[in-house]
Structure 1
Amino acid sequence: MLFRQLEYLVALARERHFARAAQACYVSQPALSEAIRKLEDELDVSLVRRGRTYEGLTPEGERIVLWAQRILADRDSLKSEVDALRTGLSGRLRIGAVPTASGAVALLTGPFCGRHPLVTVELRADLRSEDILRQLQNFEIDAGVTYLHRVREGFRTVPLYEERYVLLTEDSSAGGLGSRSEATWAEASRLPLCLLAETMQGRRVLQEVFSEAGLRPSPRVETDSVAALFAHVRTGRWATIVPSAWLNVFGVASGMRAVPMAAPSRPVTVGLVTLARDPGPVMARTLMDLARTAGVTAAFDRLSGSAAPGH
């Protein structure tokens, strides 16, 4: 009964609405409300600020939610550990990734699913770096793929590859840069650019490089979609700067060219991140071990290489 009460409380904290929380837990709203009231009675503390509508958790409720998330995560980890010992790894692996690294995740999920055929993968590929760390702390995902220079204490990391950048442009545009062996950030800043939105970590990394060169680009188009960047370049009116690792997934379409960026060249490390817990969930531990194997590291080493110019 305690586990169920904790699940209801966590759902209420997440949904911030009694009816939606009840729906998420597949129970009626009166049943969810009564279970949380019983939990308050058992703990002898008020957890929810109640009015005509949901008004949030009390300070005590906020603290109890943190314990509830940890207890439920430990319960699920224990079940997964027992199942893995009995029948092999099974269940759902939840991975969060920043958009710029979403294509590279396939280099992990492919071999992982090959080794563990009973596991399914849920990939959340449009998260910000801070969202990944928050969801790890809230036990909403098992692992993340993000920029390691933004990761603070309390997490375990495995470097995967160095993110380098290319100027992606239409063949006949960009003032002839498409025929060059490399392009400078100063040259790129003068082009009609389409870039990721400023709220995204991938864009903030680009801004840091531009700032290092004393530049302030003014993109005409901003988006949170990788596909939209490529679509705009295909029109011939725009250029963009993207990680060379994307070319491993999207390739360089006919009529487009990818020119490595230089001066300054400051690669950023992208890696796998999990919570620093002992013993930790078996799913996350297994994924971290896989990321360190020779075959996987070799695949990511190829992403770290500079892209060759041209098609």
Structure 2
Amino acid sequence: MNKIKIGIVGYGNLGQGVEVGLKNHPDMELVGIFSRRDPKTLDTQSPAYLVQDILDFKDKIDVLILCGGSKTDIPKQGPALIEHFNTVDAYDTHAEIPEYFNKMNPIAEKNQKVAVIATGWDPGLFSMNRLMQEAILPNGQSYTFWGRGVSQGHSDAVRRIKGVKEAAQYTVPDEMMINKILAGETVDYNQKDAHTREVYVVLEEDANPTKVEKEIKEMPNYFVGYQTGVSFISEEEFKAEHQSMPHGGRVIRQGKTSKDALSIIDFSLSLESNPEFTAAVNIAYARAAYKLSQEEKYGARTVLDIAPHYLSSKSREDLMRDLL
């Protein structure tokens, strides 16, 4: 069996999650990890290379999984790498996904590549569930909740602020609101009012905490409009209490199939490791990217565009027999 050859770009939490997750997929093999850091400094037994050498592997890799941050890495790396490789990324700046898609699609089509963008669990699995729930119950209301858990994207965005040495951002949902929805009550839902954000920051020496807190709370697409608490802590406290990365959430749809018949759909996730689960979703979509490339169906795709059978290593016949 010819295995799908995978490259990992970036070796933070998500990249490490992809490395671990690939061991669960016998139809795939890791060709290499590509990092801005010196490969000799990476804590890995896998082949590792400098990212600037990645074009030497154009004919050796079927799909690159981009594991950088959404704030600065993926917007630059995606358009540059799709010229030469099929790619999968977990770009999660929701408001800018259409713009990012419109940038990636023509480059992918021109170079006969496949770009699967904005995978993961939100955007990603939650996006699919929102679509399905709304299609099934058009007369109703959808609600999305995240947490309580560590947001990789938000934590990374905070770490990019000058003066921040380390950071973790927790998203906390309004549990009382969730319980009312599940009980069939109609609530006044606003995404920003339904969550609070807790940020724990380790500052560099001589950093200005007032300035850092202001920059966090005024960051567009991340914190503006949310009730956000910023706590400055020691590096020792951070290492002791903020190393695990749990997360989760749910997509709920209340809808009526007739005047008096209420239905509630509830899709939920509870994750001990946010990066490892996000990586697992990316790996499945890397398989989809490979299949689409083999079928010469080039261009950019989101999870809303890809049929579920593309994610599986099983044949369509086996899927029909086993899962329908």
Normalized per residue, the structure richer in helix is 1
Whether the TM-score (by the shorter chain) exceeds 0.5 is no
Q: What's the TM-score, normalizing by structure 1?
A: 0.32
TM superposition score normalised by structure 2:
0.31
